[in-house]
Chain A
Amino acid sequence: MQPNHAMQPIQWESVDQTLDHCIKCNICTSYCPVSAVTDRFPGPKYVGPQAQRFRAAGQAHSPDDSVDFCSGCRVCNEVCPAGVRIAEINARARAQIVADRGISLRNRLLGRNELLGKLGSIAPAAANLALHNPVSRLLAEKVLGIAREAPLPRWSEKGTFGDWLRKRAPHRLRVEDPAHKVVYFHGCATMYYEPFIGQAAVAVLEHNGYEVIVPPQNCCGLPMLSNGEFDAATGYHQRNVACLASFARAGFPVLGTSTSCTLTLKEEAPELLDLHDEAATQVKLATWDIFEWLRARLEAGELRTDFQPLPYTLPYHAPCQQRAHQIGKPALEILGLIPQLDLRESHARCCGIAGTYGYKTEKYRVAMDVGQELFDFVQAQGDDLEYTACDSETCRWQLEHGLQLEHGRAIPSRHPIEWLAAAYGLYDLAQRQLHPHPRGARHP
């Protein structure tokens, strides 16, 4: 066994060396949603495998700054026939620039969504008022460079997900059988902005007879990875691994409703940061997108299918961070079982927001232009749409924002787990809350 420090450079090389597999076929460039709309990003092939040959650690000037315009959507990886890890090469190049030159206050702030979530949740109504007004947004744009139109979330004014868990504790399902216990990784957005996503997830899992364990956890670190702060992200990931590894070793699956958080636990953090120790690997292998895990239950004949009909036309967009899991589209397979739900699959490449990318003044327009494909797809699905569906929180916010701005339509977006909870009769899609007396409770 090699000592850990000796493995570092070898692993770092292994991502970078995939550039040698590039045959310059340009399939990545033809599918890159960013280079399709802006000259600021010349495309994955140039910025990734080609420019990489001119980069070296600690060099005075990185050969190109355009890598900062890579949104990290990973469509290039998805379509590359040669297996080049283009998005990872770009992420590391950005981290090198940050290491060489430092990071802006804005990018440091955007990387700290957990801290922002905590601060705002002290007095969420006041925080929403303070942030979501034209003067503050103009100020944030001028001083920080956060686009004033960008779809920033609102703090939950009905308490955090943690508050709900504490209140709900006496009524939560407890089971003896360890095979019927799962761990839930909620992510920052569910904790501070959208606690109802976590409520829907707990309700669906309990409906299927699973006890849901929610151990202490922190931000997955992805916002920091995306903004090139690898050192800070390392700390966050290692703390999560410390919290989750014992559950993983005991065989409990770690399920998440945020596709980018689960992708970070599975792959982004271990691969970009080279954290391949036993504990990190156990967590990587135990982590599931919640629909990926529900699909496995379905295939094993263990998923309840007592669905109520949901008579809606529903455009569904699998976000790029979901597609990067490389698990197909399990949400589509499960929601496809709900009677009368007319699912319309989006083949748009990306909504544009890419985490915090579309919040930035210089990238806001790029993100909106990237998302146009998705906004137009939804628009084409008819005049009487009530909702859309998408697994990722920032993408849902962007989708709502884009439909409003580009097509003048107020169409709320919901997570597939909200749809599933609604189909089980547990959840109110419009109010985004659990029914006080679910069907099962009324008729035991």
Chain B
Amino acid sequence: MLDLLVIGAGCSGLSAALVAAQAGLRVRVIAKGLGTLHWHAGTLDVLGYLPGDTPESIPHPFAALDRLPAQHPYARLGAAQVEAAMETIVASLNRAGLDFGPSAPDSAANPAVNLLLPSPIGVARPTWRAPRAQRAGELTSPQPMLIVGFSGLRDFYPALIAEHISRAHSIAARADWLPLATITHRRDNHPVHLAQALDDPATVARLGAALKAQVDTGERIGLPAILGLERHAATLAQLEAETGASIFEIPTLPPSVPGIRLHKALVATLAQLGVRVEAGMAAIAVHQDGDVIHSVETATSSRPLRHRARAFLLATGGILGGGLQSDAHGRVWESVFDLPVSAPTTRQGWFRSEFLDPRGQPIFRGGLEVNDQFQPITPEDSTGAPLLHNVWVAGNALAHADAIRTRSVEGLAIATGVAAAHAIIASLGSPPA
């Protein structure tokens, strides 16, 4: 029997599985489809904006956590615990070959500072840590930029990006195009196929030569995030060597190659620990005895498959990830255990009248209420008594976060995933020898 069944293969589920497996638990991850990491920019955002209507981004993400409302999942953990969880996962990602850079030696004296990196349309995007391939795009540096797009690659517009950057920052940014044939002769392209093509050193050499002909001395080069998938670090190094310039990736619309790299790094690390990540397994039923869950069933091509475990982590995400479902009548429900959801009770209450209202939309603060151990509770229940004895919740299924608007998606996922994993490890005690 498993010690822990993690339901959901996004950032929180995979992070929790990693910590639990490192502690010696027998873990399996199941997911309906491949996780939402495929939509991520590949950076680790902890906190970019405070909730409410402040338009300015946050410079020090951890130092700002104590300004969040008491119900926010970060507030339950405190800055030190959030930062420790983030460092744990960064260490694993660095070992897996994704270079998120070294940690600051003394975080008390040198509080972490958010990087400011260009978004897919060139707007500043605050993030705590970014992979090596994105860091040269730092917008606080005055170094001039050449943004290069590929004619025929949809949804990446170098002129728009360069214009946004030079307007908002003291950076001379200009745009240029290369023919897509520099990389591929395929007709219909999207970022993943281009990244796979750039796993080939000969293709990288062709791209390097074309970029070298365009770049001026002293410029750094911004490209869509397509610089290799399996051999990404080598591709980046080769391109910098051939052009003599710093290169940075700008995330694209999904499918997002930096997000896929993050997913692959976590899954590969889990595989080394003996943890299987099974996609195509949608949870459809649970078996329980009172408040103890015995097993979760997933749909198969025939009879359901039963997964027995001592503990269950719900990491199915929010509305986008599929952990929360809703209908046209304003009902919102949790998709696996049917746990009570804290959310506006009418459809009229879901949204404010302005689509881009800086205070965010109330529905995105909806989710599950938990106690300090990240176990689900009844909303408004001040006793903190868990509704289910052996179920924990992490990530975007939690209430009070509005992670997308506050730019804290990965931080929320990782910090709560790691915290839930620690609570599970403590609850199960030592694994049977």
Contact = CB atoms under 8 A, between A and B. Distances in A.
Given A79-B33, A81-B35, A284 B302 contact: yes
Interface string A260-282: 00010011000000000000000
Interface of B: 31-36, 38-39, 186-188, 190, 192-193, 196, 254-255, 260, 276, 278-282, 298-303, 305, 320-322
Contacts of A35: 188, 193
Contact of A36 (B38, B196, B278): B196
Contacts, number: 84
B36 A81 contact: yes
Contacts of B298: 326
A29 interface: yes
B190 A287 contact: no
B409 to A, nearest CB: 15
Interface string A274-305: 00000000001101100000000000000000
Q: Is the interface of B mostly helix, strand, loop or mixed?
A: loop
Contacts of A266: 300-302
Given A30-B190, A31-B34, A285-B302, A83 B254 contact: no
Interface residues of A, number: 32
Contact of B254 (A26, A77, A288, A326): A26
A327 B300 contact: yes
A424 B36 CA distance: 44
A162 interface: no
Given A39-B187, A81-B35, A326 B299 contact: yes
Contact of B301 (A43, A79, A263): A263
Interface string A35-76: 110010011000000000000000000000000000000000
Contacts of A82: 33, 322
**Which of B186, B302, B322 has most chain A Cβ within 10 Å?**
B302
8 contacts: A25-B38, A39-B186, A79-B33, A79-B34, A266-B302, A324-B280, A326-B299, A327-B305
Contacts of B192: 29-30
A77 B32 CA distance: 10
Contacts of B186: 39
A323 B280 contact: yes
The 8 closest A-B pairs by CB, nearest first: A81-B33, A267-B301, A30-B192, A78-B280, A30-B255, A266-B302, A266-B301, A326-B300
**Which of B31, B299, B301 has most chain A Cβ within 10 Å?**
B301
A23 to B, nearest CB: 8
Given A36-B193, A77-B280, A83 B302 contact: no
Given A324-B280, A328-B305, 14 more contacts: A26-B254, A29-B190, A30-B192, A36-B193, A78-B280, A79-B33, A79-B280, A81-B321, A83-B33, A266-B300, A266-B302, A325-B301, A326-B280, A327-B305
Nearest to B304: A326
Interface in A1-43: 23, 25-27, 29-31, 35-36, 39, 42-43
B282 A83 contact: yes
Contacts of B299: 326
A25 B186 CA distance: 21
Contacts of A284: 302
B276 A328 contact: yes
A30 B38 contact: yes
A267 B299 CA distance: 12
Contacts of B305: 326-328
A110 B38 CA distance: 38
Contact of A81 (B34, B196, B281): B34
B188 A42 contact: yes
A328 B31 CA distance: 12
Nearest to A329: B276
A80 interface: yes
A35 B31 CA distance: 24
Interface in A226-247: none
B32 A83 contact: yes
Nearest to B281: A326
Nearest to B253: A26
A261 B13 CA distance: 34
Contact of B190 (A26, A323, A325): A26
Given A36-B193, A79-B279, A26 B255 contact: yes
Contacts of B320: 23
A43 B192 CA distance: 12
Nearest to A267: B301
B297 to A, nearest CB: 11
Contact of B302 (A43, A79, A80, A288): A288
A345 B291 CA distance: 38
A364 B276 CA distance: 33
Given A25-B255, A30-B260, A266-B302, A328 B32 contact: no
Nearest to A74: B280
B34 A39 contact: no
Contacts of B31: 81
A284 B300 CA distance: 11
Contacts of B190: 26, 29-30
A80 B254 contact: no
